[in-house]
Structure 1
Amino acid sequence: MDFQLTEEQEMIRKMSREFSDEVIAPRAKEMEETGEPPYDIISKMAELGLMGIPFPEEYGGSGGDWVSQLLCTEEISRGDVTLGTLLDVTTGIVCQELYVFGTEEQKRQWMVPLAQGKEIGAFGLTEPNAGSDAGATQTTAVLEGDTWVVNGTKQFISNMGYKNSSLVIITARCPQFKREDGKGVINTFVVPKGTSGFTIGMHWDKMGLSSYPTNELVFQDCRIPRDYLLGRDGRGFAQHLQVLETGRIFIGAIAVGLAQACFDASLAYAKQRYQFGQPIYSFQAVSFKLADMAMN
């Protein structure tokens, strides 16, 4: 198998690396200290087309591939992890779920501005009593005529606290219906920001990623049209699990970018720190640690 990157992939990696070094990294400390999302940097990422690389141009993307998007995410995360995580959720999960399971109308209405980077999307799975055990979802959606009535709470939801967040994709249990095997039905829905009955609740302060908003989402008799159902009726749980696989690959790219940043900082310090008349990287104990970091 040929693991050589294509010319286009190398170009995207180089562009993302330069953007990360010149624009993101110099602001990382400021973002962490103030907790303010860097809207100007996000806008520049959108202008460069970094938010929808693998999706067709007709849906707001750049017509590239997933390797290019992951290389971009890795380099962006090297400058600041919060922006890599933004890509993970909006591009890797929300856009992907709309692209794979959305109708043509849903893609054009909701996916295009997300892939273009004009808007930000959120993914609402975790609840007070459901997270890794996604099947324990307690949020409900009851069909009344042509309207779904949603009630419940999601917590630790990222991306919805941005001022240009536009929607959240959620899972909800539909107690009126049963699958053929007798099990309960879990569906996936799109809930636009500003929908009556949908409130963005408390903001969680974290030990890191302080400029990355994480909020509670509350649905109280939140009414959405019947056609806001995303994907096949009764397949919401399976759909979420499928797109989470893409999100986990993004997390791998984010981790590699963060590890590279740690190595770069360690090597730079080892070169400028002198002991006994020489830089400490020349000592075997230090150089072996750096070599292990580089290999891992």
Structure 2
Amino acid sequence: MRLNKYISHNTKYSRREADKLIEEGEVTLNKQVLKDFAYEVEEDDHIYVKGRPVKKSKEVTVIVYNKPKGVLVTKKDDRGRATIYHKLPGKYRHFVPVGRLDYASEGLLLLTDSPEVATALMESELDRTYNLKIDKPITPEMISAMQEGLVLDDARAGAHEKSKIHSMEFAPFVHFEIRAEGKNFSKLRVTIAEGKNRELRRFFAHFEAKVLDLKRVAFGGIELNNLPTNKTRYFTRREYDDLHKFMKRRTKNAEIEAKNRANAAKQEEKKSDTSKKYSKKD
């Protein structure tokens, strides 16, 4: 982990404050002043800030944030637009967002001080639930695609203009419910198990329907409920318990997969050795 990130993750200091401390010579590595901002902290390194040891934090903090529309989920924008870090209190500057909600979308966004947890949740197939409004009535073709899935060689409609993702495969929706419908609009609640780039906007754009409103209301059993826009809350004890169970299952599954791969490799090696043996006899 990069030095400033390591300090901000394991102390009260923000990443910007960590940069200043490094610059001022307040950070030492094994009793030697360390001014290399790009230094990658190793497992057996002893980092000190102002003479005090930095102890690696084992506790994970996760917050739920109700992201407003018109705010980017990024550290900074080259066009000067507002980001979530302009809106969030400074103590969350080093938190990592779990996935993205685009500029025009709103709702539940998880952030954590653990990059490992953020990656695990992003890569998971946990349910994501959204309320959305499109500018057309629901068609039988839309319903069929939501039930059966959809593969598009050209999924650029509905994407960001700079997106390099052209094709996309959409899994069947976990659940969908048509909540209201008029001549020029439809309101739905949909649940999907993926978090691909602008997935829902691309999906409905294929049917020439524009998403007018998109709000995430739940992620993996974590619900937005009545949390006001631009406000945060910490995970509840039950949510932390569920997270710990999820991470344990993920670790166990990874170990099983690694073991299976190793066994498969051994079997292939045995087959190869046997093949060579009979080849020599021939």
TM over 0.5: no
Which structure has more helix as a fraction of its residues? 1
Which TM-score band applies after superposition, normalised by the shorter structure? under 0.3
Larger radius of gyration: 2
TM score, norm. by length of structure 1: 0.24
